[in-house]
Amino acid sequence: MSVCIVIHGTWGERSDFAFSDSLFCRVIKEAYGKELEFRRFEWSGKNSAVERARAVVSLQELIRSLGKDNPSIFLLAHSHGGNVALDALLDPSIATTVSGIVTLGTPFLERYVQPWVKSLDSTYFVICCAVTIMGMMGVGIVFVVGSYIGLLSPIYGAIGGLTAITIFYRIALNTVKATPTVLEEISSIAYKMMPKNRHPIAAKVLVIYTKSDEAFWWLRTVFSMANLPFAVLNATIILAGWLWILGMWAGVVFLLANELVGRFLERQFPGVSNWLQDAATLSLVAPHAILVLCMILFVFAAVVAKPTLRMLGTGAENRFGAGVLTNQKATRVPARKVKQLEEMQVKLEAFHGGLWHSKYMRSGEVADRISQTFAKWT
């Protein structure tokens, strides 16, 4: 006798289709033409990575117990239930026990390393970090030394700052040399957080989806929004590095110009001296504003984005680094390799009312395809 384990999706504890006497299951059983028993798999249905992981363990135990007496075991999963089913088959012994999986509107979740983390390995990013470090030291020294010596004249502060940069050049150089090592450590931590055992799954999978499914659009939009602060942060870090050092030298140039020719130009063009002083101040202050922006973006991305993801219903992980160093994406078909993958795109426009995500179980075409696939897998 064949057994089909029906797995509901997120918030689907009361889904009618998942019961063995539902119309959807009865249609599949009649079209299958052989003895087929439906088993409802109960799990919390909470949109949480932790809850789905617990469901995976329970599903594996159920498959082991049923595999002793049943030659054919099928998994029929809706929504996130498909992720539970697919993760359960990461165990090779479970994968060989199951004849096949059918997923209905499953947004397959795959974790990947954040683009900004990948760029840490690039020479360009290391150079940008080096420029940022040099600029931070330079502007800081100009402000500290210049504020002391520049009590008499701003030009002394500028000269003192440049002299201090020369003195501390060796310190900055050693810091720059250590930068690649630090960046490699951050990158390695991110890759260590990636899921293990992503080997090919030895199972047959039929993926049924519709392009109108709201779940895909919702998750893709939310994940993109969550990743946006990190993308902006990456660009801002690079921009800040160049602005630090350019702003420092521009400030020095404006100070020197005001001291050397400002008084002469003031006679011909009134207000030039004030303009040069304002330009020098802006050149030295702007990099600090960019640095503050970097900090704000990081705080928003790391502290605000993750709770927002959980609130919007993506089931984000609780680990801090899971959102800072890595991110998720939702795909219509599994990104991981499987033994045999079939796709079926259906049109559900004929069914009015309700969400597209819940219309799969109302389609006779879907039920017929599932019964035909079960028969082929037997």
Cα 157 off chain centre by:
46
CB contact set of 208 (below 8 Å; sequence gap of 6+): 102, 103, 104, 105, 343, 344, 346, 360, 366, 369, 370
Of the candidates 144, 143, 135, 118, the residue with the CA atom closest to the CA atom of residue 176: 135
> For residue 152, what pLDDT is reported?
46
Residues of the chain with pLDDT under 70: 115-116, 118-199, 233-234, 236-238, 240-241, 244-245, 248, 259-260, 262-263, 266, 301-302, 304-325
Q: Which residues of 232-271 are buried (b: 16+ CB within 10 A; e: fewer)?
A: bbbebbbbbbebbbebbbbbbebbbbbbeebeebbeeeee
- SS3 of residue 220 by DSSP: helix
CA 326/CA 78 separation, integer angstroms: 26
> For residue 134, what pLDDT is reported?
64
- 342 with 205: CB under 8 angstroms? yes
CA 160/CA 116 separation, integer angstroms: 37
> For residue 220, what pLDDT is reported?
82
> For residue 12, what pLDDT is reported?
86
- 110 with 219: CB under 8 angstroms? no
Which residue stretches of 150-271 are H helix?
154-167, 169-192, 214-257, 263-268
Give me the residue spans of the domains in the chain.
Answer: 2-106+332-377, 115-195+219-327
pTM confidence score: 0.70
CATH class (in words) of the domain with range 2-106+332-377: alpha beta
